[in-house]
Amino acid sequence: MSTDNPTLDTAPKTSNFIHQIIEGDLNGASAPTQIVTRFPPEPNGYLHIGHAKSICLNFGAADKYNGVCHLRFDDTNPEKESQEYIDAIKRDISWLGFKWHEEIKYTSSYFDQLYSWAVYLIEQGKAYVCDLDVEQARAYRGDFTTPGKNSPYRDRSIEEKIALFAKMIAADFAEGFCSLLAKIDMQSSNMNLRDPMLYRILNVSHHQTGDKWCIYPIYDFAHGQSDSIEGVTHSICTLEFEGHRPLYEWFLANLPVTNVPRQYEFSRLELNYTVTSKRKLKQLVDQNIVNGWDDPRMPTISGMRRRGFSAVAIRKFCEMVGVTRSNGVVDVSMLESAVRDDLESNAKRAMCVVDPLKITISNFADQACEMLSLAVHPKLDMGIRELPFSKHLFIEQQDFSEDTSLGRKKFKRLVIGDYVRLRGAYVIKADAVIKDEQGNVVEVLASLVPGTVGANPDPEFKPRGVIHWVSAEHAVPCELRIYDRLFTDANPDKNKEKSFTQLINPDSLQVISRAWAEPSLLEAQVEDGYQFERTGYFVADMDSTADKLVFNQTLPLRASKAK
């Protein structure tokens, strides 16, 4: 298995309480021979930014302590799983720069062993087949203030329980007719220990095992045992599984396993203006509110990648957030800042005019074309790009004013009778304008100052500032997709008056169907990131064609104060 970035250093630079636990274990009397972690996603959707934190923690800890990390698909719920999600998860982990140990693991690979262990629990008098339906089971279970009561089927003989379980696997019962439960304690204050389900009947074909099984294990029964089979030493999960830890440990203590991993919990990553529930993200996709799981407005790793976020920036953000046991919401601007810092340092430079105003250079020959050389990056050695300079240019409408009273400090752009430098090109002077019937300026007649390419002009020609431009004859048409946050509410998951789908930002996507880019962008490959002069950070999108380039805005050049 290879990654797009096989030489990246993915080990975390900082330490956290999980690292401290691992270091303590390594220095202890019964130190493990090797640290083994795992990342166990359920293949029922695409990975999101919260998963990125878990990926960085699990794979990063293994890297830091010369251990290994398994990728295991928790595929115990085939109704909601698919190969599409498996492929997307593999792709995202590789793109982030991590490598899993050995072959990919599947919980379904352990179904035979899990079934044998279920029979073992029955034989030990610690599991039973229960015929209560869903409503009856809920009533018997009780709640946080009411203790549960034993199922009337709890004390069947072991022989009867084994026979009934055999009928379950033989498909002799209808779906939902009965289930296999662990026999623990219906009076426990921990709801997870009130005779939890181990197996349910589910007549669904599995994407890995086909139609071999008609019963499937519950996550709680499969998880710890899968960790044990794989030799996991540190089973790291989010805080919502803290209450499940006693059950995790109960199974390991009551089954003949040879390896006993330990579970540790950390706080999940939550961002404002974001939802990360896979159920809700799928709803956005299914209702066509977004254009798929990789829509650049989505908090999925695929969406952020298409938006132009780099793997380095996402890993950096996850390290900035840190690993603690305290729940909290992180401001999404923190993620945007990490991305912006990365782009400022590494994005290629280019010019693209969004709202064009025609400039005609009166003292430049009609058919002439002068090729100018500009650096791809002002500080990094990324090579040179060639820009054609011609008689007719495009600049931004907002970069010109007829108001000659505007002071140079207030307006550092082009004004009638004054000078401005074209980025990487000549100093020009605006001499006159041409207007349409409505009085709108449609063209500026200008003259260039000879000998000012790469050289400072005489003081009398000192420019007000620098503006970007493209040659009108050579400009490449492109589509720009401008993205804003998907939700108008900072906490779309917690609004008690409106559904999260009612809080969608109607301006989360604006499309500029025709902008004009410098011709060097014809060489842009999908996921190539650019800083468009004074416009923003953009990335080449997969929808680009030979006839029209498409660029997604990753972020504006600066954070908006309003946000």
**Two structure tokens written together for 460:** 């009398």
Residue 231 burial class via C-beta count within 10 angstroms: exposed 0-12, middle 13-18, buried 19 and up: middle
Strands 466-467, 419-422: parallel, antiparallel or unpaired by DSSP? parallel
- The average pLDDT across 278-307 equals 98
**Two structure tokens written together for 281:** 């993200």
The domain defined by 111-218 carries CATH number 3.90.800.10? yes
Distance CA 275, CA 298 (A): 9
Q: Are 426 and 452 in contact (CB under 8 A)?
A: yes
The class of domain 272-346+478-517+524-563 in CATH terms is: mainly beta
Q: For residue 141, indicate whether it is catalytic.
A: no
Q: What pLDDT digit, counting tens, does each position of 48-80 carry?
A: 999 999 999 999 999 999 999 999 999 999 999
Q: For residue 429, indicate whether it is catalytic.
A: no
Q: What is the pLDDT of residue 1?
A: 32
Please give the CATH architecture assigned to the domain spanning 350-471: Beta Barrel (2.40)
**Radius of gyration, CA atoms only, the chain:** 31
The mean pLDDT of the chain is: 95
Catalytic residue, candidates 278, 385, 391, 481: 278
What are the extents of the domains in the chain?
A: 111-218, 272-346+478-517+524-563, 350-471
CA distances for 510 relative to 479, 482, 513, 520, angstroms: 11, 5, 9, 25
Q: For residue 278, indicate whether it is catalytic.
A: yes
Catalytic residue, candidates 42, 242, 443, 527: 42
* Edge-to-edge strands, sheet with 179-182: 127-130, 179-182, 197-201, 215-217
3-state secondary structure of 283: helix
**84-114 CB burial, b ≥16 within 10 A, e <16:** ebbebbbbbbbbbbbbbbeeebbbbbbbeeb
Q: What is the pLDDT of residue 561?
A: 61
* Residue 424 predicted with pLDDT over 80: yes
H helix or E strand, kind and range, residue 131? none
* DSSP labels, 480-547: EEEE--SBSSS-TTT-SSS-GGGGB-TTSEEEEEEEEE-GGGGGPPTT-EEEETTTEEEEE-TT--SS
H helix or E strand, kind and range, residue 163? helix 158-169
Distance CA 305, CA 164 (A): 50
Q: What is the pLDDT of residue 4?
A: 44
Q: What pLDDT digit, counting tens, does each position of 317-329 carry?
A: 999 999 999 999 9
What's the angle, vertex CA 377, arms to CA 376 and CA 383, rounded to 5?
A: 45
Angle formed by the axes of helices 111-123 and 219-229, nearest 10°: 110
Q: What pLDDT digit, counting tens, does each position of 241-263 carry?
A: 999 999 999 999 999 999 999 99
- What percent of the chain clears pLDDT 70, i.e. is strictly above it? 98
Catalytic residue, candidates 91, 268, 280, 282: 268
Looking up tokens 């279920």 gives 118
Q: Are 96 and 311 in contact (CB under 8 A)?
A: yes
Q: What is the pTM of this model?
A: 0.93
Distance CA 89, CA 73 (A): 9
Distance CA 88, CA 93 (A): 9
CA distances for 82 relative to 36, 43, 51, 85, 88, angstroms: 27, 6, 18, 6, 10
Q: What pLDDT digit, counting tens, does each position of 111-152 carry?
A: 999 999 999 999 999 999 999 999 999 999 999 999 999 999
Please tell me what DSSP assigns to residue 487.
B
Q: What is the pLDDT of residue 27?
A: 94
Q: What pLDDT digit, counting tens, does each position of 227-240 carry?
A: 999 999 999 999 99
- The average pLDDT across 387-400 equals 97
Q: Please, which residues bridge with residue 393 across strands?
A: 359, 471
Q: What pLDDT digit, counting tens, does each position of 102-113 carry?
A: 999 999 999 999
The reply to whether 111-218 and 272-346+478-517+524-563 are identical in fold is no
* Residue 288 predicted with pLDDT over 80: yes
Half-sphere exposure of 541 (CA within 13 A, CB side): 23
Distance CA 235, CA 223 (A): 10
Band of pLDDT at residue 9, cut at 50, 70 and 90: confident
Q: How far apart are the first and last CA of the chain?
A: 41
3-state secondary structure of 496: coil
